[in-house]
Each structure stands twice: as C-alpha cells, then as structure tokens.
Structure 1
Amino acid sequence: EAFKVGEYDYRREYNAKRWLSEYEFKAVDKGHVVLKEMKNDRPVGMNALVMNSRKELFNNRRVRLALSYAYDHEWINKILHNGAYVRTDSYFDNSPLSSSGLPSKEEFKLLNPWKDQLPNEVFSKTYRPPVTNGSGNPRRNLRNAKKILEEEGWFVKNNKLMKDGKEFRFEILILSPSDEKIALAFQKNLEVLGITMDVRTVDSSQYQARLLNYDFDMIKRYWGVSLSPGNEQQFYWGSEIGKKDGSRNYAGVDSPVVDELIEKLISAKTRKELTTAIHALDRVLLWGHYVIPLYHSNTDRIAYWDFLEYPDKIPLYGIVIESWWINQDKALELQH
C-alpha cells in the first residue's frame, strides 16, 4: 500500500499470485507506475521435492523415477500459481551451465569410464521431467509409474502398494502452507497408485533439527548456484560429506561418479573445462532421479514509478538497482 501512494519508488515482487492480482491501481492506470517482467540469465538452481536415498524405500533409482510421474507440474502451475512458472529441468537451469541435448565429445570423455555405473539414458537421452495435459487427471503418467513400480516388485493389494509384506508409505516434511498445497496435490496422485504419503507440517526449529541428521523421507528444498560453481558442490552432493550431519546432501547422493566430476570442476583450469564438468555432473544427477524438479521464474517482476530510468543493456544477473537514475524532469512533473 505504501508503494501505491508513492512512499517508495521501486518494488521487486517475488509472489507470482500477488503480481497477477494486486497491481491494479490508479497510478498504474495513469501510467505513473510501470509494471515490467524482465528476463534474466542467472542460474536458478534446483527447487525440488527431495527423496532421501538413505532410506530403504528410496534407494532404488527406478522407484524414485516412478514417483516423479505422479507429480503433475502443469496442473499445479495452472491452479496454484496462475501459470507463472517454468518447469525446472536442470540443476543449473536458465544458464549456459545447464546440460542440453546429448553429451558432447568432451563430456563423453569424462562419463565413458563410468559407463557401467551409469544409466544408459545419460548417454542416449535428453533429460525432461514427465509432462501432463494439466487437467488434473494424469492417467498416462500414473500408468507409467505403475508399470515401473510393478517391475520393481511393488503390487497393489487391498488398495495399498505392497512389496514383501511392506506397505509403500512415507512422510513428507513441510515448513510452509504454500508447500503444503503442493504436497496435497501430489498426495492425491500417489493415492491412485496405492502409495500413502503422510503430510507433516512442523515449525522451523523442528524442521531444521530433522534436516540436520537427515531424519526425513521427503522434503521440499532448494539449492542455489552461481555462474562459477566450486567447492559448494561437494557440500551439496559429495559422498563423504553426505555421511556427516549438517551437510546439504539431503538426497543422500553416494556416487563415485559424482565425486569424480566434482573434483574435475573444482580443479578445472579453463572456463571450458569447468563448463564440461558441470554439464556432465548435471546429467548424472538428473538421471539419478534423486529429486522431483519443481519450477522457477526466469524473469524479474518489477514495479517502479516512471521517473526512474535504467541502462539499455541489462546485466546477465538481471536488474541492478544501483545502476538506475532519476529523470528529474519526470519527477518534477509528477510532483505537480
């Protein structure tokens, strides 16, 4: 409300729903306030539902893949977010560090020695998360999930998915009401498969305590990245660090291939070597299906009073307010 009456001049909006519903006011109608969505090229990182592969239920890559078919991004984006987001399909999305197509010759050299330990898809397919028609009834995807689960020995008995007398049941640990909405939509599709997912919302102190020693089955979590990834990747995905409390290897990634690729990117002497190692790491993590990628925005939503001006060329990382200036003539005109 303070912005609407000119008590401050510039506002960046992070809430997609608010952007679509709360920026209709007199100053906008008169052209005094400008609303813009500005594309940026900064890596968005990975926002995802994370499966703890330390748990017996999630230590099977194909079971983790099956669960990704039950997540209906298109419906969630349409109903919960007014279509404001883009699906994430890389740990380094929205940047040149994101892997694409099939591995390059240089990537192949890094990956091929580990061929026997990697899924064939790393070499033969471009990763894309499952897509639905957004109707809220992802029958085809749920059929795919059911087929994979049956191939891994999971069958429905009395409406419950079972294997060796054990029910497929787990808990998702939630921190905020907005995350709970996503979890409940996911829960509905899992029920069709006979899977019980208990949604547990806890306060911040409980949440952090359970994260500290990986006392969870599934969580929603975010890993940020820069255009120059380095040692932090070890803290995110390293095998040894993942065995110690307090790391950000929430997924429990325990892979010599990942460890080797992290060493390659840390020791890279050129930008090309760094990019190649990151592309290869991205592929291995994606095809490991440790997480169910969620979504991101590749634009900055900004509202500003029209006496503010900015350079023609926007930096790679997006808006830098320190580079803006006041057009004094416009400011005086608005005052009058």
Structure 2
Amino acid sequence: MLRRFAAILSLACAACPAAPGPAARAQDAGARISGALAMHGAPALPPGFRAFPYADPDAKKGGVVRIGALGAFDNLNPYGVNAGSTALGLIGPVYQSLLARNLDEPFSLYGLVAESVETDDARDFVTFRLDPRAHFSDGVAITAADVVFSFNLLKRRGRPQTRAAFALVAGVSAPDARTVRFDLTGANDRELPLILALTPVLPAHALAEQAFADNGLAVPLGSGPYKVAEVKPGERLVLVRDPDYWGRDLPTTRGMYNFDRVEYLYGRDDNGLFEAFKAGLIDYREEGDPRRWAKAYHFPAREKGEVAVEALPLGGPKGMEALAFNTRRDLFADARLREALAMMFDFEWLNAKLFDGFFTRTKSFFDASDLSAFGRPADAAERALLAPFPGAVRADIFEGRWAPPASDGSGRDRDMARRALELAEQAGWQMQDGALRRDGRPLSFEIMTRTRDEERIALTYAGQLRRIGVEARVRPVDDAQYQRRRQRFDFDMTFALWQASASPGNEQRNRWSAEAAEREGSYNFSGAREPALDAMIAALAAAQSHEDFTAAVRALDRVLLSGFYAVPLFHRDAQWIAYRRRIGHPARLPRFAQPPFGEALETWSVR
C-alpha cells in the first residue's frame, strides 16, 4: 500500500508572521508570503478555516484502536534506504513535516511546523517561517537549525529518490532561528518547493547521522501527536498520545489523531489476521481478497451488529500494479517480446475464476483520471512535446486506439496465443520442440513473489505462458530477501506497484529516468532508459499551467505504454474495509486519498 506523508495538519494565517530581513525582501521582490502552497493555481482553503473538509472538528477524543498489519518490520526509520521494511504509523503521528497535505485537493499544502511559506512565480527559492510554538516531544523547541540538519542528513543518507530531489537545491540557509531559505536557482522544477515542504523535521540535538544510517530500532523522537510507547520487533508497535503535543489547537489538527492509543499488530499470514479480527483482537481491517470479501464476512460478531463492512470509493488515478520486466536482462531487451509475453496474461479468465469478477483491468499508469492517455488521441500540446522523439510512441497509442488484449475467458484463447507467437517470432524467437527458442536456447525466466496472493497469480500466469512454450518459474521469497533483491534489481520479473496521485511529479524521476535505472533502491524496477521519458518528466515538473501539466503527464503515459515495461494487472474501484462499531469515521471522505484511510486512521474516533 501507499506509504504517504500522512500528517493531515494546518494553518490559520489571517495574519501572516513577520517576513525575513530587509536584504532578503529586496532580493525576493515580487514574492508572496502565504499560509499555503499549491502545485498549480491557488490553494482551495481560505485563511482561518476551521478544519479540513473530511475531518470532524468535534470528534470525540480517547480510546484505543488496534490495527492489523500483514508482514513484519525490522526498523523504525521511514526515511532511510530500508524504508520498505519500516514499522507503520510513524509518518504523521510521530514525525511531522514543514507543511502538510490537504487530501481534498490534487496537491496543496498547509502549514504545520512552518506557519508560512514564501516563494516567487518562477519558484527559484522557497522560504519557510517556523511556528514559534513547535517543539519536539522532549520539549526542545524546533529551530531553523533542525530543518537545515534534516535536509542535509536526508540529502546524504536518505532514500534514493529524496537524495535525487534534494540534489537540485542550490543552497540552504537559516537567516534566523525561525527562518529557513532554500535557493532553487536552475532547478526548473515547480514541485521542488512542495517536496521540501514535506521534509520531516528531525531533532539535531538527539539524532546522530550514523544512528539514522543504521536504520535501527531505537525509539524515534518526533514532534507529532504521538510517542512510541512499545516496540516488539516484527510483531507489535504501540503509539500513545503525547499530552504536551504542541499543535493540538491548530485549525487543521481539529478532528485528527483522536485515539489515545494506537496498536499495530503484525501477522505473517492474512488468514490469521482475519481470524484475529473476527475474534475481536483487531478493530480495523482492510480486505484485499475478493472471495473472502464476498463470502467470509457473515460471522457472529457481524450478525450481532458489532462489526460494520463498507466498500468505499477510491478517488484519484488508480496507478499501475503490474508484473515488471527487468529490461536490464538481455532476455527482455526487445519490446516486441515483452508485448508478446504480456499478451498471454489472461485477465478475463483470472478475474472470473479467482476473483469473482471484482477487479477492473488497468489500462494506464494514471487510470480512471483526466491524466490518462487511454482512449484519447494525443492533442497538439502532447504532439509538440513528443515531436523530438519519433518512434517513442506507437501509432495506435498515439491515436488512443490501444487497449490491453482481452481474451475469450476460456483460459485457452487460441487467437491470443497465435498473436503472441507472431510477435515473439518478430523478436527472433521460434517454436521448436515444444519450446520458444532463440539460437537453440529456450525462453525461461523466474517470477519473484512475496505473498501467497502474488504466488497464486504468478502460478496462473506461468501456466498460461506454457501454452506458447515459455517456462516461467515462480520463486517465493521472504520479506527481507524480497526487499534486498528488489533494491538491487536481482530478479527477472516481479510484482511492482506504481501508485498514482492527482499531481504526479518528482517521484516519476525515481521510477522512470535513465539515472534511476542505474541507481540501486530506485523504483525504476523495469530499468527503463528512454530519452522521451526523461523529457516528459522534465516537462511535467516545469509546467506552469494545469493544461501544460496534463499534456506532459499524458505524453509520459503514452511513452510508458509504448515501452511495454510491465504486464498490467488490475485494480479495485473501492476500498473494502471492516471495523468494530465502537469506532467510526466521518461521513465525508477525502477526494484524493489512495486509499481514503491511511495507516493511522487519522480522522477516525471512538463512538
């Protein structure tokens, strides 16, 4: 699932704080100080708003919530290189950022540790003014030195995508104890001020660089509404409310973080977590198995009215969950072979037989949104962007005619197999002695999986590939090995999730740039190295209008679809949740959250 910056926080800025000194003001002529910052256009909420639209400012405080979590964890550092195996619930409840996201807008940020933000039209700089009330949970005040420390530490030791983004910053300075200024001259990246605004503020007085790099289990010190109270590695994490939390009266903390105690209970088997929920040991559960959702939730506690189940609409683009080809392998160098192998994924049969028809085939990296290229001919703005890269987009994708192949649902569609073999032959592979071969060598590769659900899908796909003489071996691995091999790109094919937001930006560099293809730990699992991808990412980052931005994202989508870097899987149109009725959520849902409820159930409360 999505690891997002979950601090849903605030600013009331009817009277903005004092600006930096005269010299800075002269240099920044034309800049504006505000309580919020939007990627495009103006933020939606006015100064002095009471609460985010999806929060209940009168929510009851108190009580305990127990949340089941599948898998395990081995560290408490969500910002280090091993963040994929970090415990849940730390970003937002424990660690806070300078500004925080309103999930009712595509990408707008409002104040938290920083009470105001200043930038110019070109976004050549950004200055943050800290809230004088802000302090860490040990009582030490947050100062500009902590922000500079956090930036430099993450630039040296943070996740690869963070280091890549922070490398674009020309300089950082602290004119006084409450002011931090970032010089962005030459970055040409309008999203960069927002990325910096989501920087976690780490305690310079209590965090050594080596301890951060070790990604250990030391109890973290943050500035959020909760403290870590109990850690049982891989099994249990407990957060308790900080009675001295400095931001409790900020306008957009109203209705947020309402429980006194949040317990994360880990389990390596989802069936076991489901049984724990049925028995009342867990209060909230998100269901991912359609058959279980359809048939297994009629148990006594629900019949007695103690448990509620809901299918909640998922807002925003659906993103891409897929089986990623590792094109660093010579085997997958030819896009025609990749397309042929993708053609053998029989979604129609799989959806009917394994998933009771609950899923929708994913057709775009920004599916079900205005940012998707699927079904749309390229407009003039897209064509202008793509003109320097002839051949980067296939004609049918350019014209909006392409769609993932649909089978007859029988599981043995002969026409689909024939078309796949024709494509494979164009790539130099021939059927010989029951196997697809090139230069006498059979086509064989490994699919790395982590969960039983992934294994089940991979085994089904492997059976479909055997029909055209391809041997796909399914290799289940544990969490630690999975993370290590994925970070080093030590796989032939594996499951990948590229989540989408309503405002894609700098993260696309970490997913699709040529530089990321060579950098361990990046999300360029497929190893894409296409100049058109780099150019489209640069275009969307520099876009000043929503129209130019939309054109750049659609053009990026077309290049990705044309590359056949992955086998598109499927997505749900709803989030399936079940919970004990002693807790609940506000009626209003955030428009752009994926999913609407995050790891900490920020807007939930006891009933």
TM-score by length of 1: 0.87
1:127, 1:286 within 8 Å by CA — same for their partners in 2? no
2:329 alignment partner in structure 1: 55
CA displacement at 1:120 relative to structure 2 = 2.2
2:294 alignment partner in structure 1: 20
CA displacement at 1:326 relative to structure 2 = 7.5
1:28, 1:34 within 8 Å by CA — same for their partners in 2? yes
CA displacement at 1:66 relative to structure 2 = 0.4
2:459 alignment partner in structure 1: 184
SS in 1 for 2:364: coil
Supply the AA of the counterpart residue of 1:251. S
| Match 1:297 to one of 572, 576, 587 | 572
| Match 1:243 to one of 504, 515, 518 | 518
Q: C-alpha distance in 2, partners of 1:217/1:4?
A: 39
Q: 1:215 to 1:319 in 2, by over 3 A?
A: closer
Q: C-alpha distance in 1, partners of 2:487/2:584?
A: 45
| Match 2:366 to one of 69, 92, 98 | 92
Q: C-alpha distance in 2, partners of 1:55/1:117?
A: 21
- Tell me, yes or no, if structure 1 residue 199 matches structure 2 residue 474: yes
Greater Cα offset, 198-207 or 82-91: 198-207
- Tell me, yes or no, if structure 1 residue 46 matches structure 2 residue 320: yes
2:590 alignment partner in structure 1: 315
Q: 1:40 to 1:174 in 2, by over 3 A?
A: closer
2:22 alignment partner in structure 1: none
Q: 1:208 to 1:152 in 2, by over 3 A?
A: same
* Equivalences for residues 221-240 of structure 1 within 5 A: 221-240=496-515
2:339 alignment partner in structure 1: 65
- Tell me, yes or no, if structure 1 residue 108 matches structure 2 residue 376: no
* Equivalences for residues 114-153 of structure 1 within 5 A: 114-153=389-428
Supply the AA of the counterpart residue of 1:140. D
2:325, 2:565 within 8 Å by CA — same for their partners in 1? yes
1:72, 1:136 within 8 Å by CA — same for their partners in 2? yes
1:89, 1:127 within 8 Å by CA — same for their partners in 2? no
For residues 166-186 of structure 1, what are the alpha-carbon distances to aligned partners after superposition, in whole Å with 9 as ceiling and x for unaligned? 221111122222211111111
Larger Cα-atom Rg? 2
Supply the AA of the counterpart residue of 1:156. M
How many residue pairs were aligned?
327
| Match 2:354 to one of 59, 69, 80 | 80
Unaligned 5+ segments in structure 2 are 1-274
Greater Cα offset, 14-23 or 275-284: 14-23
For residues 296-331 of structure 1, what are the alpha-carbon distances to aligned partners after superposition, in whole Å with 9 as ceiling and x for unaligned? 11212233567877666533136456556777xxxx
CA displacement at 1:118 relative to structure 2 = 3.3
2:541 alignment partner in structure 1: 266
CA displacement at 1:272 relative to structure 2 = 2.1
1:332 alignment partner in structure 2: none
Q: C-alpha distance in 1, partners of 2:365/2:557?
A: 6
For residues 34-61 of structure 1, what are the alpha-carbon distances to aligned partners after superposition, in whole Å with 9 as ceiling and x for unaligned? 4332222132321101111111111111
Greater Cα offset, 301-310 or 119-128: 301-310
CA displacement at 1:123 relative to structure 2 = 1.7
CA displacement at 1:285 relative to structure 2 = 0.1
SS in 1 for 2:389: helix
CA displacement at 1:218 relative to structure 2 = 0.9
CA displacement at 1:137 relative to structure 2 = 1.4
CA displacement at 1:144 relative to structure 2 = 0.7
Supply the AA of the counterpart residue of 2:458. A
Greater Cα offset, 211-220 or 21-30: 21-30
1:11, 1:302 within 8 Å by CA — same for their partners in 2? yes
SS in 2 for 1:197: strand
Supply the AA of the counterpart residue of 1:50. A
For residues 216-238 of structure 1, what are the alpha-carbon distances to aligned partners after superposition, in whole Å with 9 as ceiling and x for unaligned? 21111112222221111001000
Unaligned 5+ segments in structure 1 are 328-336
TM-score by length of 2: 0.50
For residues 101-152 of structure 1, what are the alpha-carbon distances to aligned partners after superposition, in whole Å with 9 as ceiling and x for unaligned? 2112221221223124432233223332111122221222111101111222
2:392, 2:559 within 8 Å by CA — same for their partners in 1? no
Greater Cα offset, 215-224 or 313-322: 313-322
Identity value in percent = 38
Q: C-alpha distance in 2, partners of 1:94/1:31?
A: 35
CA displacement at 1:31 relative to structure 2 = 6.0
SS in 2 for 1:113: coil
Q: C-alpha distance in 2, partners of 1:74/1:206?
A: 32
1:331 alignment partner in structure 2: none
Supply the AA of the counterpart residue of 2:462. Q
Q: C-alpha distance in 2, partners of 1:304/1:246?
A: 35
1:311, 1:323 within 8 Å by CA — same for their partners in 2? yes
Q: 1:303 to 1:151 in 2, by over 3 A?
A: same
1:52, 1:58 within 8 Å by CA — same for their partners in 2? yes
